[in-house]
Amino acid sequence: MSGLIQTTPCPIDIRLHQTSRLLEVKFDNATECMMSCEFLRVYSPSAEVRGHGHGQETLQVGKEEVNIVAIEPVGNYAVKLVFSDGHDTGLYSWDYLYDLAKNYEALWLEYLAKLSMAGIKRKGIKLKMI
């Protein structure tokens, strides 16, 4: 079983590049991705970020320089990411991690649009799409 859904690809390698603040994930179906720590933080599956139902999400701001300080395995189905801003309550199941990887560009653009609609500007850090 790879995650909560048996057909979801399973990570075979997860590497943190702290200097560039990128998490590299390779899945057993040959999918490879690099996701920024900021992206993973603002899309945390925690109730603090996602709320307890539709429409209860909290827009995360000021996370441009956040990093991951620890990656803790949770059984055979998830990892817990501990962020430099103290956030550590989301479990990234293989299903969720794979979904983030597959939809990285669209989700990132959606986040930027939400910031713009809220009148919030990101710091001068530019994030390249990989």
pLDDT band at 110 (very low <50, low <70, confident <90, very high): very high
pLDDT band at 30 (very low <50, low <70, confident <90, very high): very high
The arrangement of secondary structure in 11-117, i.e. its CATH architecture, is: 2-Layer Sandwich (3.30)
The domain spans of the chain are 11-117
Checking if the pLDDT of 3 tops 70, the result is: no
Q: Give percent of the chain above pLDDT 70.
A: 92
pLDDT band at 1 (very low <50, low <70, confident <90, very high): very low
Checking if the pLDDT of 2 tops 70, the result is: no
The mean pLDDT of 59-67, rounded to a whole number, is 95
Whether the model pTM is above 0.85? yes
Q: What is the structure's pLDDT at 130?
A: 46
Q: What is the structure's pLDDT at 50?
A: 85
The mean pLDDT of 106-129, rounded to a whole number, is 84
**Three-state SS string across the chain, please?**
CCCCCCCCCCEEEEEEECCCCEEEEEECCCCEEEEEHHHHHHCCCCHHHHCCCCCCCCCCCCCCCCCEEEEEEECCCEEEEEECCCCCCCEEEHHHHHHHHHCHHHHHHHHHHHHHHCCCCCCCCCCCCC
The mean pLDDT of 95-103, rounded to a whole number, is 96
Strand ranges of the sheet holding 68-74, from the earlier edge strand across to the other edge? 68-74, 78-83, 91-93
Arithmetic mean of pLDDT over the chain: 90
